[in-house]
Amino acid sequence: RDISNDAKRCSPNSSPGRSIGGINLKKTLVICRGWYNLLFFPTSLSNTSNIGIARVTQSIDFYFAVSSPWTYLAGPRFEKLIKKYNLKVNWKPYDVPRVFALTGTKPVPQRPPQIQANRLNELRRWREYLDMPLNLQPKFFPADPTPAAHMLISAKQTGGEISKLANAYMRAYWVEEKNITDTATLINIADKLGWNGRAVFESSTGAAVLAEYEENSEEAVERNVFGVPTWIYENELFWGQDRLDFLARAVESQL
């Protein structure tokens, strides 16, 4: 069917007093104008909100570990990004030490002292710039991220939204001096956010959770993920909290 005739009938020049097929143009003029622009002026797609067309949900794969200060620092800005663009996030906690071993990256305590000193300087600068609380050398550093990762996967498998739980675990470690390898601590934090912490923990040691954690880790290696935080959007990898602006631009370009 040639839809150009429909568009012409619905063009902005149509008289609002006329009717087409019994439809009052006065009531449909705004909608018709929107469709006319979509058909003949594609650059007006950014104005689709005027005609009630919902944006297509964008999907992002997020590879992270709660033991990373950089992931913690990215948290609030990433949450704003999620809300602004209505993003669907695939949360993928993974085995960072394993990936480090495969890529030749040394854990922080094993890095040269000069690199460790610079890391602390960078964390201090970003803490001040973002105005976020952060203990540069937390009491329980370094911490194994695996128990918290298992809890997050377990919670996710129940169909829950885990962003708040993930951010709470990071805050507990990097701000509140809590031990995120301690079972009671992990359960208590989950309880405070409305989860059944004990139930989440009990399922966190099950085969389904362990399988997903393994899958996330293997997938990270296959997709050239080498650190945290890492986002993959439209097959493009963005590593580091200081790349969030580039991620936002990439999402914006697809709208």
Given CA atoms 125, 81, 147, 179 in this order, what sign does their dihedral have? Answer: positive
What pLDDT score does 134 carry?
A: 99
Q: Please answer whether residues 167 and 75 qualify as being in contact, where contact means their C-beta atoms are separated by less than 8 angstroms.
A: yes
User: The tokens of 218 are what?
Assistant: 């293997």
What pLDDT score does 153 carry?
A: 99
pLDDT tens, N- to C-terminus, the chain (255 residues): 444 444 444 444 444 444 445 544 444 333 333 433 333 334 333 343 343 445 568 999 999 999 999 999 999 999 999 999 999 999 999 999 999 999 999 999 999 999 999 999 999 999 999 999 999 999 999 999 999 999 999 999 998 899 999 999 999 999 999 999 999 999 999 999 999 999 999 999 999 999 999 999 999 999 999 999 999 999 999 999 999 999 999 999 998
Strand order in the sheet with 230-233: 88-93, 59-64, 230-233, 236-239
pTM of the model: 0.78
What pLDDT score does 55 carry?
A: 59
What pLDDT score does 57 carry?
A: 80
Helix (H, G, I), strand (E, B), or coil: what is residue 60? strand
User: The tokens of 249 are what?
Assistant: 């631009």
- The domains located in the chain, with CATH, are 4-51 (no CATH), 59-253 (3.40.30.10)
Instruction: Map tokens 């790349």 to a residue.
Output: 243
